[in-house]
Structure 1
Amino acid sequence: MQSRRKLRFRLLISFALFGFGLSALFAAASLYVRAKVENQLVNASLQSDVDQAVENAHSNPGQPVGSRLIDAWMWSDRTIYKAPLGWQNLATGVYDMHDVDKDGHPRHYKLAVARKYGLIGFISYDISREDLGKRQLITSLIASVILFSLLSLAIGMWLSRKVLKPVTELAHRLRDFRKAGRAELLAPHFADDEVGELAQALDEYSTRLTAMVERDREFNSDVSHELRTPLAVISSTTELLQGSPDLTDKLRERLKRIERASRQATELIEALLLLSRAERRGPTRGEITDIAKVATDVIDSQRPQIRDKPIEVELLQNDSVTVNAPASVLSVALTNLIGNAIKYTLEGRVTVEVGKGRIDIIDTGPGIKPEDAERLFQRGVRGEGAGGSGAGLGLAIVRRLCELYGWDVSMKPRTDANGAIASIVFER
């Protein structure tokens, strides 16, 4: 999973880590160079001094032993026993020695030893001060690392605020446009740099998107007008024809079918327009849609499909359920679900049950596989087990309408018998 930290935070962390790493590297290099140079200089000085003392003692035996550094001793092989016990067996070289002084304080010194011409010379060099200086240097370097890290953090905060100020302003303007529901040009408010190029690209994208939405709105309006006009003519004509006294029962039934088909087409157009605009529209003021009434109308409109089938369709109303939505939207959803149940049920019963904030359509058809239940709501997917034509868009439209109004639609196989159960839950 990719990190979702803000760009400013990442920039700030980068500056802080860079400052800390550079300071720590400088401190480590300083300690290493100091220790190496100091050790080389001290060792070289001590060895040179003790060699010089031995040469002087060999050349001038009567003169007292002298040293350019303090604390020098000279013994021979016969008098070496006078030297401290820890020194007596040391070979030529320089050693780090630790002991305590006469006051009992720990002491750290370097001891240079030279064995030559039967003489054994010792020179000690107290480096306690160097140890103190080293500790002070380490403390200073640690303080410097902390100081430079804080300084890098402060610089990073200042730079990140300065560098990201145009980006933040661009985001604020976009957010204000979204709240206001209108869009203005962004590019004039920014300099001709990378952020300005981004603002220009957003302006171009917004212009194209606005033009596309406007064309879609005009197309929907034109389609709505062109389709509703002939449907209104059909509806008014059938209504006039039904008032004729010389109509036979057979013709009157056919006119009713035409009227129902016209009404269903009008409702479907309205529902599709709502989906294309992705907007919810409630019923007119004071009007609440009764689910049982809409279900009754849908069942009546589906009666012609069951004339040639041994099927019974019944409506069970266990509770009074109403929704704040257009009747046309609910009618489209129930027409698809009830129509599918009748279509795929070759014989038996289709029960439409209303109650407890939901409606269930239960059939005795071939049923569905549990793994196919969710897939049936996808575009282009048709159920198996019945013939007939169709593009597999009905249940996809139902799902989109239910999502638009916050309803839950589902389908599952029956567990007590063959068949399927389609449900719409209006109250979550």
Structure 2
Amino acid sequence: MTGKGERRRAPYRRRLRSRIIVSFVLLGFCLTTLFAFATNWARARVENQLVEDVMNRNIDEFARRFYESPGRNPAVPVQQIRAFAYPSDKFDRVREERPEWAAFATGNYKLSGVDEHNEPFSYKLAVRKAPDAWFFLAYDMTESIRGEEQLKRALFFSVLVFSALSLVLGWWSASKVMKPVSDLAARLRAYRGGTSEPEPLAPRFPDDEVGQLAQALDDYSSRLTEVVQRDREFNADVSHELRTPLAVIRGATELLLTRPDLDPKVLQRLQRIQRAEQQCTDLIGALLLLSRNERGQGSSNVARVSEQLLDSHRAQLGGKPLELILEGNHDLVIDAPESALSVALGNLIGNAVKYSKEGAVRVRVGNNAVEVIDSGPGLSEEDAAKLFQRGYRGTHAGHSQGGGIGLSIVSRLCDLYGWQVNVRPGAGRGVIATLTFSPA
């Protein structure tokens, strides 16, 4: 687990521009498809009504002419229509030659299929049956079916063309609609903070929804800048007011330590006061840097700072059977002030000493990192997941003092300086905390 934690990738979200384009395409596709379906349905309905009307008029005319001259088969005025008339003495012939026709009652029917030459056919059949004669009128639908197929192909390509036009229109509209939003986002990204106040956004945009958003962002930025300014002033004031009494304590302690006739117990107390004053000074400096979000200047020898921290804890062990050991590279120097390194490393060493009842706490300095290895009770899964959260106290904290903000400060210092902190269970027991520094 790292101090700042691994940032989970946010779930993919479709951009607003893409949603607008997809909406246009879906709208165009749905409307053109609906129009194509309605057109084909209306064509089929109108054509069916017209064909049946023509057939009904022609079969009635055909029957009238047949009764005027029963001896001959009258002609039909429409070329696509073939008419047949069978008197009562030829009913059996119809049943033999055209059984499907003979089975129909008076009305209009549609027939389709494949003939004996394996050629498709389609026609409409009008049937009029009287006691003395049967009349059949067949209307060839081949040309109509060919036209229907051509119309369907035309409608299909129309759907594709209008969908493509919808895509182009959606792309253009999305670009026009989203350009002010993109400009606003670009201006927000361009401003990275600093000492100067940000330039107002609202005057650069028209008085529309984007302009209202820019105005709201300006108002929010103004209030946020005011809060940050008050926070910085407060931190500076607190730092100044705290450093003044600490400077008095430091001067008084140094003056008392120069006396040669000090009692050993008094000397021990004075040295403890001196170390506590130095820790407070380092902590104030580190917190002030965090509040300003700026790196301090300077360089630090990791081994020397570690030895100072271990000496400070040795003086506070009392009768605790715990050995504090410094190992490894004594020449590692990092680009950071000693106050920041002392706070970060001091919290790791302090936790190791606090939770180790016996055994040893080893501080091992490597080429670009330092490890703090303790012999404490170890690390639970819950602690590993929440260890660097502000205010969280581990399961082994018990009634010990502390507000659960030490490792949170370590994590923030790592973010500021580009370091990495990792805490993992040891091989047998205990915890290994690793502080990795950024390359020079």
Range into which the TM-score falls when normalised by the shorter chain: 0.7 to 0.9
Residue type at the aligned position of 2:284: I
Aligned with residue 142 of structure 2, among 123, 128, 132: 128
Aligned with residue 97 of structure 2, among 80, 85, 89: 85
Gaps of at least 5 residues in structure 1 are none
Q: CA deviation at 1:196?
A: 1.2
Say whether the 8 Å CA contact 1:358–1:427 is kept in structure 2.
Answer: no
Say whether the 8 Å CA contact 1:320–1:355 is kept in structure 2.
Answer: no
1: CA distance, partners of 2:310 / 2:352: 11
Aligned with residue 18 of structure 2, among 2, 5, 9: 9
2: CA distance, partners of 1:272 / 1:255: 26
Q: Which residue of 1 aligns with 2:287?
A: 272
User: Residue 178 of structure 1 aligns to a residue in which SS?
Assistant: coil
Q: Which residue of 1 aligns with 2:415?
A: 403
User: Residue 137 of structure 2 aligns to a residue in which SS?
Assistant: strand
Q: CA deviation at 1:105?
A: 7.0
Equivalent residues in 2 for 1:382-397 (5 A)?
Answer: 382-383=393-394, 384=396, 388-397=400-409
2: CA distance, partners of 1:101 / 1:347: 103
Q: Which residue of 2 aligns with 1:143?
A: 157
User: Residue 14 of structure 2 aligns to a residue in which SS?
Assistant: coil
Say whether the 8 Å CA contact 1:76–1:118 is kept in structure 2.
Answer: yes
2: CA distance, partners of 1:370 / 1:62: 107
Equivalent residues in 2 for 1:274-289 (5 A)?
Answer: 274-283=289-298, 288-289=299-300
Moved more, 370-379 or 232-241: 370-379
Q: Which residue of 1 aligns with 2:361?
A: 350
2: CA distance, partners of 1:72 / 1:131: 21
Q: CA deviation at 1:249?
A: 4.5
2: CA distance, partners of 1:282 / 1:138: 77
Say whether the 8 Å CA contact 1:20–1:148 is kept in structure 2.
Answer: yes
After superposition, the Cα gap between the structure-2 partners of 1:178 and 1:393, relative to the gap in structure 1 and judged at 3 Å, is closer
Aligned with residue 234 of structure 1, among 249, 254, 260: 249
Q: Which residue of 2 aligns with 1:424?
A: 435
User: Residue 89 of structure 1 aligns to a residue in which SS?
Assistant: helix
User: Residue 195 of structure 1 aligns to a residue in which SS?
Assistant: helix
After superposition, the Cα gap between the structure-2 partners of 1:158 and 1:101, relative to the gap in structure 1 and judged at 3 Å, is same
Q: RMSD across aligned C-alpha pairs, in angstroms?
A: 3.2
Q: Which residue of 1 aligns with 2:347?
A: 336
TM-score by length of 2: 0.84
Q: Deviations over 1:183-222 (max 9, x none)?
A: 1111112222211111110010000011111111111111
Q: CA deviation at 1:264?
A: 1.1
Say whether the 8 Å CA contact 2:304–2:330 is kept in structure 1.
Answer: no
Percent identity, please: 47
Moved more, 21-30 or 227-236: 227-236
Q: Which residue of 2 aligns with 1:170?
A: 184
Q: CA deviation at 1:153?
A: 2.5
Structure 1's consecutive aligned runs of 4 or more residues displaced over 6 angstroms after TM superposition are 81-84, 99-105
Higher relative contact order by CA 8 Å / sep ≥ 6: 1 or 2?
Answer: 2
1: CA distance, partners of 2:201 / 2:263: 69
Say whether the 8 Å CA contact 1:16–1:152 is kept in structure 2.
Answer: yes
Is 1:54 the counterpart of 2:63? The answer is yes
2: CA distance, partners of 1:138 / 1:50: 31
Q: Which residue of 2 aligns with 1:225?
A: 240
Say whether the 8 Å CA contact 2:417–2:438 is kept in structure 1.
Answer: no
